[in-house]
Structure 1
Amino acid sequence: MEPDTLFVVGLALGVLSIPAVVSSVSRGERPRIATITLMIAGTMLVWAISNKPGGYSIEAIPAMVKRVLQGFT
Protein backbone atom coordinates (compact mmCIF):
# COMPACT_ATOMS: atom_id res chain seq x y z
CA MET A 1 0.00 0.00 0.00
CA GLU A 2 1.23 3.48 -0.80
CA PRO A 3 2.56 5.51 2.17
CA ASP A 4 0.23 8.42 1.40
CA THR A 5 -2.82 6.16 1.59
CA LEU A 6 -1.66 4.61 4.86
CA PHE A 7 -1.03 8.07 6.27
CA VAL A 8 -4.55 9.25 5.41
CA VAL A 9 -6.19 6.07 6.74
CA GLY A 10 -4.14 6.27 9.94
CA LEU A 11 -5.01 9.92 10.35
CA ALA A 12 -8.72 9.19 9.89
CA LEU A 13 -8.65 6.27 12.35
CA GLY A 14 -6.86 8.40 14.92
CA VAL A 15 -9.29 11.28 14.60
CA LEU A 16 -12.35 9.04 14.72
CA SER A 17 -11.16 7.10 17.77
CA ILE A 18 -10.68 10.18 19.97
CA PRO A 19 -14.43 10.58 20.68
CA ALA A 20 -14.60 6.89 21.62
CA VAL A 21 -11.79 7.36 24.14
CA VAL A 22 -13.45 10.43 25.66
CA SER A 23 -16.81 8.67 25.82
CA SER A 24 -15.39 5.60 27.55
CA VAL A 25 -13.43 7.62 30.07
CA SER A 26 -16.41 9.85 30.87
CA ARG A 27 -18.53 6.74 31.59
CA GLY A 28 -15.81 5.35 33.85
CA GLU A 29 -14.98 2.45 31.54
CA ARG A 30 -11.65 1.38 30.12
CA PRO A 31 -11.27 2.47 26.48
CA ARG A 32 -9.90 -0.86 25.27
CA ILE A 33 -11.06 -0.91 21.65
CA ALA A 34 -10.45 2.81 21.20
CA THR A 35 -6.93 2.45 22.58
CA ILE A 36 -6.19 -0.43 20.22
CA THR A 37 -7.52 1.65 17.34
CA LEU A 38 -5.30 4.56 18.36
CA MET A 39 -2.27 2.26 18.47
CA ILE A 40 -3.07 0.90 15.01
CA ALA A 41 -3.49 4.45 13.69
CA GLY A 42 -0.19 5.51 15.24
CA THR A 43 1.57 2.52 13.74
CA MET A 44 0.17 3.34 10.31
CA LEU A 45 1.30 6.96 10.62
CA VAL A 46 4.80 6.04 11.77
CA TRP A 47 5.18 3.45 9.01
CA ALA A 48 4.01 5.91 6.35
CA ILE A 49 6.34 8.65 7.59
CA SER A 50 9.32 6.30 7.76
CA ASN A 51 8.73 4.92 4.26
CA LYS A 52 8.12 8.27 2.55
CA PRO A 53 11.38 9.76 1.27
CA GLY A 54 11.66 13.19 2.86
CA GLY A 55 8.69 12.60 5.16
CA TYR A 56 5.67 14.90 5.28
CA SER A 57 5.42 18.60 5.93
CA ILE A 58 2.44 20.07 7.75
CA GLU A 59 1.65 22.31 4.76
CA ALA A 60 1.51 19.36 2.35
CA ILE A 61 -0.93 17.22 4.35
CA PRO A 62 -4.23 18.85 3.18
CA ALA A 63 -3.27 18.54 -0.49
CA MET A 64 -2.15 14.95 0.02
CA VAL A 65 -5.42 14.05 1.79
CA LYS A 66 -7.38 15.61 -1.07
CA ARG A 67 -5.34 13.70 -3.67
CA VAL A 68 -5.77 10.38 -1.85
CA LEU A 69 -9.51 10.87 -1.39
CA GLN A 70 -9.91 11.77 -5.07
CA GLY A 71 -8.14 8.51 -5.92
CA PHE A 72 -10.88 6.52 -4.16
CA THR A 73 -13.63 7.94 -6.36
Structure 2
Amino acid sequence: MDTDLFLVIGSAVLVLALPALIGAFSESRPPRAAAILVLIGGALVALAVTQSPSGYGFDDVPQALTRVIGRFF
Protein backbone atom coordinates (compact mmCIF):
# COMPACT_ATOMS: atom_id res chain seq x y z
CA MET A 1 0.00 0.00 0.00
CA ASP A 2 0.94 3.62 -0.41
CA THR A 3 2.36 5.69 2.46
CA ASP A 4 0.00 8.57 1.62
CA LEU A 5 -2.94 6.26 2.19
CA PHE A 6 -1.50 5.11 5.54
CA LEU A 7 -1.05 8.72 6.59
CA VAL A 8 -4.57 9.76 5.63
CA ILE A 9 -6.27 6.73 7.22
CA GLY A 10 -4.16 7.08 10.37
CA SER A 11 -5.01 10.76 10.66
CA ALA A 12 -8.71 10.03 10.20
CA VAL A 13 -8.62 7.35 12.90
CA LEU A 14 -6.86 9.76 15.26
CA VAL A 15 -9.55 12.37 14.62
CA LEU A 16 -12.25 9.78 15.33
CA ALA A 17 -10.58 8.96 18.64
CA LEU A 18 -11.25 12.45 20.01
CA PRO A 19 -15.04 12.13 20.41
CA ALA A 20 -14.61 8.67 21.92
CA LEU A 21 -12.08 10.05 24.38
CA ILE A 22 -14.27 13.00 25.36
CA GLY A 23 -17.33 10.76 25.70
CA ALA A 24 -15.50 8.32 27.94
CA PHE A 25 -14.20 11.02 30.24
CA SER A 26 -17.58 12.78 30.43
CA GLU A 27 -19.30 9.54 31.47
CA SER A 28 -16.53 8.62 33.97
CA ARG A 29 -15.62 5.36 32.30
CA PRO A 30 -12.24 4.13 31.08
CA PRO A 31 -11.41 5.23 27.53
CA ARG A 32 -10.75 1.76 26.10
CA ALA A 33 -12.14 2.34 22.62
CA ALA A 34 -10.36 5.69 22.35
CA ALA A 35 -7.08 4.11 23.44
CA ILE A 36 -7.41 1.41 20.79
CA LEU A 37 -8.17 4.03 18.13
CA VAL A 38 -5.16 6.11 19.20
CA LEU A 39 -2.92 3.06 19.00
CA ILE A 40 -4.16 2.09 15.54
CA GLY A 41 -4.02 5.64 14.18
CA GLY A 42 -0.62 6.32 15.71
CA ALA A 43 0.77 3.10 14.30
CA LEU A 44 -0.50 3.94 10.80
CA VAL A 45 0.96 7.46 10.93
CA ALA A 46 4.27 6.14 12.28
CA LEU A 47 4.35 3.50 9.54
CA ALA A 48 3.73 6.15 6.88
CA VAL A 49 6.45 8.44 8.23
CA THR A 50 9.06 5.70 8.54
CA GLN A 51 8.31 4.05 5.19
CA SER A 52 8.22 7.24 3.14
CA PRO A 53 11.55 7.88 1.41
CA SER A 54 11.46 11.63 2.01
CA GLY A 55 9.38 11.66 5.20
CA TYR A 56 6.43 13.94 5.92
CA GLY A 57 6.25 17.45 7.27
CA PHE A 58 3.19 19.30 8.49
CA ASP A 59 2.80 21.04 5.14
CA ASP A 60 2.88 17.69 3.29
CA VAL A 61 -0.27 16.35 4.98
CA PRO A 62 -2.81 18.40 2.94
CA GLN A 63 -1.01 17.44 -0.27
CA ALA A 64 -1.14 13.77 0.70
CA LEU A 65 -4.85 14.11 1.45
CA THR A 66 -5.56 15.61 -1.96
CA ARG A 67 -3.49 12.91 -3.70
CA VAL A 68 -5.43 10.14 -1.95
CA ILE A 69 -8.82 11.75 -2.63
CA GLY A 70 -7.79 12.46 -6.23
CA ARG A 71 -7.18 8.77 -6.87
CA PHE A 72 -10.81 7.95 -6.09
CA PHE A 73 -12.37 10.60 -8.35
Counterparts of 1:1-73 in structure 2, within 5 Å, are 1-73=1-73
Spell out structure 1 runs of 4+ moving beyond 2 A. none
Q: Shift of the alpha carbon at 1:17?
A: 1.1
Aligned mates of 1:18, 1:52 — CA distance in 2: 26
Coordinate RMSD, CA, aligned? 0.9
Normalised by the size of structure 1, how large is the TM-score? 0.92
Q: Shift of the alpha carbon at 1:27?
A: 0.6
Q: Once the two structures are aligned, what percentage of the paired residues are identical?
A: 33
Aligned mates of 1:19, 1:5 — CA distance in 2: 23
